[in-house]
Structure 1
């Protein structure tokens, strides 16, 4: 049976796959970012696992794009992850919770609503990540975390991956 407007598509690759992820406005109405003025939704708020404290760069699979991602290469950004981990240890939280709590704390500074949408492969993570909403970062934590965003080194993607993302 072919798809017709108004008929829901079945789940699976035939339901849109790549197009759905990169161009939701071409499908059913979704509340896209431009229709939510005053809302900021940070991209990859956990740094693709980098800020969770659980990423082992040496264990990345052969096809894992992070192996060649400039932000995962070398030690330049390790200090950032280490600082997040230190704050988490002091507050009795996970590094992911601290990273997300910092993102949420930016709402007041920016004067807008912030909605972080971290991805996960583990069923336990959404509940852990939601706990970040209850985590209050004290002045010492904010003083340690606030300057970190200016210390990130490396491009978001390799030039080849940038071209691939642009093609959609």
Structure 2
């Protein structure tokens, strides 16, 4: 069955997109190039039309791979990338200055082997640069035909309002899943007020909602090693959520991964999850979530089981929090319910 479509500004895209980060970045050793390329082609075969990458992922390597593999199919896909956070001398740097965004766009166009990027996000808000200046530069890229639409990532409702007053914002991409509910504080409502699509990254809670993580034995360079929710004090408590969660998935007739994605899809037609994976069998499982239907009663029970009160730990550690502009729930001690 073909994937249903959802509106992403001027684009009609598959209801589930593909987050390409995992193929080059963040979760330890990436897969071999041949396997990554095969996964991208399989996503195309299965009807995915929204592919999401960034200059940061693999410090350009992900954009290069996505560009190389998808170039023959460019006319049938919506290509999204991000600027404002890149690798400089082997380190991650947030830089939202207009000159930097213009330069990195040119570099991205070359790596992606395309004449225009459909949706170009400001990956992080640079606290040293007014968001009006950053999106003003992106507006110039729209006018010059380098990009078609502007997005923001990991921003608050207030920042979205400021940016949208300067340039039309097509989409916001923030983390959103059963165990990351911060968008529900204010951002989702603001997106809907302004007619901005919401793209949900890490919809499977960085693998937790697959139901397959029994202990946090992550390899070196896996970003989850620094995340409080995966630290022993919190992870042990969070594991207690999985048995009843698996039971709800069985009741719905789907896998835990599919339940998490179906829950997001049911939250609104303006929400587009972009799960990522390195394995074709997981890709196929994830995309099958588009056919799962959840009744209102089951959704309420899922909501009550996994939410901001029942999940232990913050999503980022203290060192990373200043980089994030999103609203936050009040701090809690590990494992403490509000």
TM-score surpassing 0.5? yes
Q: 1:59 to 1:10 in 2, by over 3 A?
A: same
**Residue of structure 2 equivalent to 1:71:** 229
Task: Please state how far the C-alpha of 1:78 moved relative to its aligned partner.
Answer: 2.2
**1:30 offset after TM fit, Å?**
5.3
What secondary structure does 1:159 align onto? coil
1:115 match: secondary structure: strand
Shift of 1:140: 4.4
Report the CA distance between 1:123 and its aligned residue. Answer: 2.2
CA RMSD in angstroms comes to 3.3
Aligned residues: 152
SS at match of 2:201: coil
| 2:200 equivalent in structure 1 | 42
Q: Does 2:262 match 1:101?
A: yes
Listed one character per residue, the Cα deviations across residues 76-125 of structure 1 (whole Å, up to 9, x for unaligned) are: 32233333222112233111100010111111xxxx51101111111233
Higher relative contact order (CA 8 A, sep 6+): 1
Kept in 2: contact 1:88–1:94 (CA 8 A)? yes
Which one has a larger percent strand, Structure 1 or Structure 2? Answer: 2
Task: Give the TM-score, by structure 2 length.
Answer: 0.39
Residue segments in structure 1 that go unaligned for 5+ positions in a row: 12-19
Deviation at 1:129, TM superposition (A): 1.3
Judge conservation of contact 1:83–1:144 (CA < 8 Å) in 2: no
Deviation at 1:5, TM superposition (A): 5.3
Partner of 1:142: 299
Residues 8 and 130 (structure 1 numbering): CA distance in 2 closer, same or farther, change over 3 Å? same
